[in-house]
């Protein structure tokens, strides 16, 4: 047996781990790496169980083809790739490249070489049809930045903050790149509190992070726009904002004041159930503290009017000037990238969707830039079911599970059944894999070399950390699994296409090595990759630089109240909640799962093997429900059956449930009650620009299901 140093790649934490590997190269045990300078021995339960992911009996080890009659056959990788390439070529010849779409799921973000090769593949075949969960989980952040502008030097950091205000985010269970550093987040929150930081949490349930809050606002879900707008009103009317910063960097201040005047604390109190006094108190605490930001998560990005709510929360940071200024330390310029100066200035809002390619069936443009940009994922089923020219006929799904993740599950599944070709690169027999014509099993994380590059380059991390890992375990004997970047390389060369990584056209005869790709990616890095290789546990390099002043000639300002935001605010003011429903279904994440992935299901206690429908005990009593009872959750004629679980931290009138569990809608009900909440999301009621539906605060009625 041997021990190898690497890092976990299930979520953004990318915790340093030590993997024990047996003589066959199989990982058998995982523990946190105490010598990792960031995570210092921390690994969550999913990470500790991650060896089992590699050896689980249900892992798919050879490519599978599903025939038209539903029968399946195991197939050699080369043959499966030949067939897929041939079918893709035929579809492109008939209907053009946009008939082929890519959905790259969460697991693709933690696979650096794959990430580098995916976009060149789509560019090589000429398709613009790229989709990912980013346009489901943080879409409003992209819209907000592209409408308001961003600050070139980034925001003030958590580790130097006097106050932090969290709207619908729970970083203790869900590590993220903004706000609380993603490594051992619970420790980070305690440390910050220890040095006197004030924590304000806004959530319909007393989440893990809310337990540390100085002020906890247990809101009625779905109305954070009112709350943030009221706080803005208080700050501006009491002159608590940073007026110098606003004079220099904000455009539209007067209009902002006029437009948000209607969002009074009294109005917000009525919408959110939080008293006006509490709202005023939170606003004053936030604005009068020296440093610190307001921060959001999926509780905001997934509600109706998410783009508006996100915009108003970010305006709290803008008016209080919570950004890094010239002369301040810029502690993480990103070790894997070239040295570049950062400036204390606003970067112009690009509003990409107003120019560039558009979808056919749905009225949406692209988010991010045209090159490597993406379309809103909620519109994917529309494009597949489209009757006119240019419909999507083939979908490559990699590192995701869209059949349970994408909103409006029934419509998604109907659309997938309509595809001429659905290919999943997927290690387990997921609902998406069960719908796929081909399932190509990938190497799993410990079987591949990697860099935490997306993560390490993130300037939101407080320190310039870098690590590189070799593959530390071997795929099971007799398996035929593919390195995922290689999947695209193999398809491209079969289709007669070249992959251009931006200055390096990959050879089509001999595949490059993982290291070749990493060396190319880091060719201009401030820290040469070989130096990083010399630190197997990872290292925090000394790269700190200073924020530079604004560049002469840059007069860009934050656009704080553009017309489309004002229009959304007006619609929000005139919106009314349907009186038809007794409860609101809200999103949340579970410790033991990362979306649909549970690293070692067999190790979990039966209690943790399903996603409970958490309800306040008073609501349970009123409905006559006991723990473990089945409860029908119905909204807009759609229904699912959940398993009730009493949770006193949940606000009354709320049912709090995680996502991406369960099977296909027409499969037998899961005995563990792993219901899929995407079934209840209406895909036809959406935000403009990014097609975001309301995924949290969905109106529902509850009814006990009598089984006795
Ligand atoms: N353990 C674990 N970690 C994960 C994941 C996982 O599944 N499990 N998933 C990963 C992914 S893909 C993502 S995108 C991130 C997400 O990271 P987060 O956005 O932090 O996700 P959650 O932990 O669900 O926290 C969202 C909070 O919003 C609250 N909320 C719900 N509705 C509302 C509302 O209307 N208003 C307000 N104010 N709050 C509301 C919920 O109660 C919940 O506490 O987590 C990542 N990390
Ligand atoms: N109703 C509702 N729906 C939601 C949400 C919600 O809160 N409510 N949350 C949304 C969010 S935040 C997200 S991010 C999406 C998640 O959307 P997806 O990213 O589509 O779903 P995941 O479950 O994360 O899929 C990851 C898949 O990758 C597989 N996998 C694991 N390791 C590897 C690997 O090394 N290679 C490959 N190729 N595959 C691997 C796993 O088995 C799993 O099937 O769901 C969204 N859907
Ligand atoms: S799953 Fe757990 S151990 Fe793995 S990176 Fe995320 S927090 Fe760290
Ligand atoms: Mo996500």
For residue 567, give both structure tokens.
């229009």
Mean pLDDT of 648-675: 88
On average, the pLDDT of the chain sits at 94
For residue 693, give both structure tokens.
């539906």
Position of tokens 């419509």? 411
User: Considering only CA atoms, which of 477, 380, 431, 343 is closest in space to residue 660?
Assistant: 431
pLDDT digits (tens, 9 = 90+) for 28-54: 999 999 999 999 999 999 999 999 999
pLDDT digits (tens, 9 = 90+) for 302-336: 999 999 999 999 999 999 999 999 999 998 888 98
Pocket of ligand 2 (CB under 6 A): 105-107, 133, 136-137, 298, 302, 398-402, 405, 425-428, 430, 442, 444-445, 484, 587, 595-597, 659-660, 677-678, 681, 695
Residue 519, phi then psi, degrees to nearest 5: -60, -40
Among protein residues, the one with the nearest Cα to ligand 2's atom 45 is 405
pLDDT digits (tens, 9 = 90+) for 357-409: 999 998 999 998 756 799 999 999 999 999 999 999 999 999 999 999 999 99
Among protein residues, the one with the nearest Cα to ligand 1's atom 4 is 174
CA 705, CA 563: separation in Å to the nearest integer? Answer: 48
Mean pLDDT of 258-270: 97
CA 625, CA 379: separation in Å to the nearest integer? Answer: 37
What integer pLDDT is reported at residue 457 of this predicted model? 56
Position of tokens 């953004």? 12
**Ligand 3 closest atom vs CA 50:** 4
Taking CA 479 as the corner, what is the angle to CA 474 and CA 483, rounded to the nearest 5 degrees?
65
pLDDT digits (tens, 9 = 90+) for 492-531: 999 999 999 999 999 999 999 999 999 999 999 999 999 9
**Ligand 3 closest atom vs CA 17:** 3
For residue 100, give both structure tokens.
């082929």
For the chain, counts of helices (H) and of strands (E): 24, 28
Which residue has better confidence, 483 or 68? 483
What integer pLDDT is reported at residue 671 of this predicted model? 65
pLDDT at 707 > cutoff 70: no
User: Considering only CA atoms, which of 202, 627, 184, 136 is closest in space to residue 378?
Assistant: 136
pLDDT at 460 > cutoff 80: no
- Find the 211 Cα to ligand 1 centroid distance in Å: 15
Taking CA 241 as the corner, what is the angle to CA 236 and CA 246, rounded to the nearest 5 degrees?
100
Pocket of ligand 1 (CB under 6 A): 11, 106, 137, 167-171, 173-176, 202-205, 207, 219, 221-222, 224, 297-299, 303, 586-591, 593-595, 656, 696-697
Among protein residues, the one with the nearest Cα to ligand 1's atom 6 is 594
User: Considering only CA atoms, which of 14, 174, 172, 29 is closest in space to residue 603?
Assistant: 29
Among protein residues, the one with the nearest Cα to ligand 1's atom 33 is 299
pLDDT at 454 > cutoff 80: no
Pocket of ligand 3 (CB under 6 A): 8, 10-11, 13-15, 43-44, 46-47, 175
pLDDT digits (tens, 9 = 90+) for 15-25: 999 999 999 99
Mean pLDDT of 238-265: 97
**Ligand 2 closest atom vs CA 596:** 23
Ligand 3 pocket, mutate which of 7, 9, 15, 450 (most atoms under 8 A from CB): 15
For the CA of 208, the nearest ligand = 1
pLDDT at 687 > cutoff 70: yes
- Find the 115 Cα to ligand 3 centroid distance in Å: 20
Mean pLDDT of 179-188: 89
pLDDT at 341 > cutoff 60: yes
- Find the 695 Cα to ligand 4 centroid distance in Å: 12
Position of tokens 């943080």? 138
**Ligand 1 closest atom vs CA 11:** 47
Helix (H) or strand (E) holding 7: strand 2-7
pLDDT digits (tens, 9 = 90+) for 272-298: 999 999 999 999 999 999 999 999 999
What integer pLDDT is reported at residue 452 of this predicted model? 84
pLDDT at 626 > cutoff 80: yes
- Find the 598 Cα to ligand 1 centroid distance in Å: 17
pLDDT at 458 > cutoff 60: no
Mean pLDDT of 167-178: 91
pLDDT digits (tens, 9 = 90+) for 106-156: 999 899 999 999 999 999 999 999 999 999 999 999 999 999 999 999 999
For the CA of 298, the nearest ligand = 1
Residue 584 contacts residue 220 (beta carbons within 8 Å): yes
Q: 633: which strand partners? A: 640, 702
How much of the chain exceeds pLDDT 70, in percent? Answer: 98
Ligand 3 pocket, mutate which of 9, 12, 13 (most atoms under 8 A from CB): 13
Mean pLDDT of 671-675: 71
What integer pLDDT is reported at residue 491 of this predicted model? 98
What integer pLDDT is reported at residue 84 of this predicted model? 98
Mean pLDDT of 605-631: 92
Cα dihedral sign, 127-133-134-140 = positive
pLDDT digits (tens, 9 = 90+) for 575-597: 988 889 999 999 999 999 999 99
pLDDT digits (tens, 9 = 90+) for 521-546: 999 999 999 999 999 999 999 998 99
- Find the 620 Cα to ligand 3 centroid distance in Å: 33
CA 476, CA 617: separation in Å to the nearest integer? Answer: 47
- Write the Ramachandran bin of 318: left for phi over 0, alpha for psi from -120 to 50, otherwise beta: alpha
């Amino acid at each position: 047996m041997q021990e190898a140093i690497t890092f976990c790649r299930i979520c953004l934490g990318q915790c340093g781990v030590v993997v024990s590997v047996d003589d066959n190269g199989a990982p058998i045990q995982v523990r946190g790496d105490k010598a990792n300078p960031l995570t210092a021995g921390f690994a969550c339960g999913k990470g500790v169980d991650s060896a089992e992911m590699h050896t689980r009996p249900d892992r798919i080890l050879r490519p599978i083809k599903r025939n038209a009659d539903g029968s399946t056959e195991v197939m050699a990788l080369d043959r499966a790739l030949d067939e897929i390439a041939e079918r893709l070529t035929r579809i492109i010849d008939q209907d053009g490249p946009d008939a082929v779409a890519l959905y790259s799921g969460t697991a693709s973000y933690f696979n650096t070489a794959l990430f580098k090769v995916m976009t060149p593949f789509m560019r090589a075949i000429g398709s613009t049809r790229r989709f990912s969960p980013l346009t489901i989980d943080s879409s409003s952040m992209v819209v907000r930045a592209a409408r308001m502008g961003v600050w070139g030097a980034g925001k003030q950091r958590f580790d130097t903050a006097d106050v932090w205000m969290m709207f619908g985010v729970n970083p203790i269970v869900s590590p993220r790149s903004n706000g609380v550093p993603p490594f051992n987040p619970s420790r980070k929150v305690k440390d910050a509190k220890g040095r006197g930081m004030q924590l304000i949490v806004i959530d319909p349930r007393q989440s893990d992070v809310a337990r540390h809050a100085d002020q906890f606002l247990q809101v009625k879900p779905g109305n954070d726009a009112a709350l943030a707008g009221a706080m803005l009103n208080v700050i501006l009317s009491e002159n608590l904002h940073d007026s110098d910063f606003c004079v220099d960097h904000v455009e539209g201040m007067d209009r902002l004041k006029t437009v948000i005047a209607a969002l009074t604390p009294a109005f917000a109190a009525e919408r959110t159930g939080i008293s006006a006094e509490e709202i005023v108190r939170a606003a004053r605490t936030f604005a009068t503290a020296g440093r610190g930001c307001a921060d959001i998560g999926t509780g905001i990005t997934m509600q109706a009017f998410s783009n508006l709510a996100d915009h108003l929360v970010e305006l709290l940071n803008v008016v209080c000037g919570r950004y890094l200024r010239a002369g301040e330390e810029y502690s993480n310029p990103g070790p894997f990238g070239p040295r570049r100066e950062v400036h204390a200035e606003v970067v112009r809002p690009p509003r990409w969707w107003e120019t560039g390619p558009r979808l056919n069936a749905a009225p949406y443009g692209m988010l991010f830039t045209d090159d490597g940009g993406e379309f809103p994922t909620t519109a994917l089923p529309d494009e597949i079911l489209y009757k006119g020219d240019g419909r999507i006929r083939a979908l490559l799904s990699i590192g995701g599970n869209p059949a349970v993740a994408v909103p409006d599950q029934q419509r998604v599944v109907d659309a997938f059944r309509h595809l001429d070709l659905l290919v999943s690169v997927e290690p387990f027999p997921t609902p998406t894999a069960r719908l796929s014509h081909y399932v190509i099993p990938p190497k799993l994380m410990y079987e591949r070399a990697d860099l935490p590059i997306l993560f390490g380059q993130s300037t939101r991390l407080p320190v310039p950390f870098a690590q590189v890992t070799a593959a530390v375990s071997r795929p099971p004997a007799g398996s035929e699994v593919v390195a995922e970047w290689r999947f695209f390389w193999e398809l491209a060369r079969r289709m007669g296409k070249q992959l251009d990584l931006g200055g390096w056209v990959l050879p089509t005869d001999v595949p490059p090595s993982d290291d070749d790709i990493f060396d190319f990616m880091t060719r201009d890095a401030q820290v040469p990759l070989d130096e990083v290789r010399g630190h197997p546990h990872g290292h925090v390099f000394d790269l700190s630089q200073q924020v530079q002043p604004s560049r002469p000639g840059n007069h860009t300002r934050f656009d704080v109240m553009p017309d489309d935001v004002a229009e959304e605010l007006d619609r929000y003011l005139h919106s009314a909640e349907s009186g038809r429903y007794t409860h609101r279904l809200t999103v949340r994440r579970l410790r033991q799962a990362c979306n649909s992935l549970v690293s070692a299901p067999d190790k979990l206690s039966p209690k943790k093997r399903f996603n409970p429908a958490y309800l306040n005990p008073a609501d349970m009593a009123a409905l006559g429900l006991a723990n473990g009872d089945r409860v029908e959750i119905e909204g807009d004629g759609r229904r699912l059956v959940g398993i009730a679980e009493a949770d006193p931290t949940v606000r009354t009138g709320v049912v709090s449930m995680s996502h991406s569990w369960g099977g296909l809608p027409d499969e037998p009900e899961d005995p563990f009650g792993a219901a899929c909440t995407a079934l209840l999301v209406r895909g036809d009621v959406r935000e403009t620009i990014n097609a975001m539906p309301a995924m949290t605060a969905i109106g529902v009625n509850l009814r006990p299901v009598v089984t006795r």
